[in-house]
Amino acid sequence: MASLPFTNDIRTLRFLAGEMTQGELGDRVGVTRQTIAAIEQGKYSPSLEVAFRIARTFDKPLEAVFQWTDGMS
């Protein structure tokens, strides 16, 4: 399985948001807890809409949540 060309800080942002659970974040974004877990683990690349919804939930810009990994095309 190829790894994604970007990483994310969702776990940290959930912690800073008062230990928000994956299920709570999923409810706010409109996806399941399993999908949030898969995104955090780099097993699923979310749609642009879900990526923006996650960023808006934490009141952060998209690039504060998802970071492109240098050196990958």
Partner 1 sequence: MNFREKTAWLNAIAPLAAYTLYFGLILAGHPAGREVFPMLWLFGSIAIAHAITAMIGTAILWARAPKSERARADERDRAIHRRGATIAYYVLLVGTTIVAVYMPFVTSGVPLANAGLFAIVASGLVNSVVVLMSYRRGWHG
- Residues forming contacts to partner 1 in the complex (CB under 8 A) are 1-2, 4, 23, 30-35, 38, 41-47, 50
- Residue closer to partner 1, measured from CB, 16 or 67: 67
- Residue 48 CB, shortest distance to partner 1, in Å, is 11
CA 10/CA 32 separation, integer angstroms = 15
Compute the distance between CA of residue 20 and CA of residue 37 in angstroms, rounded to an integer. Answer: 13
Name the nearest CA neighbour of 53 among 69, 37, 66: 66
Closest CB 34 distance from partner 1, rounded Å: 5
Shortest spacing between CB 1 and partner 1, in angstroms? 5
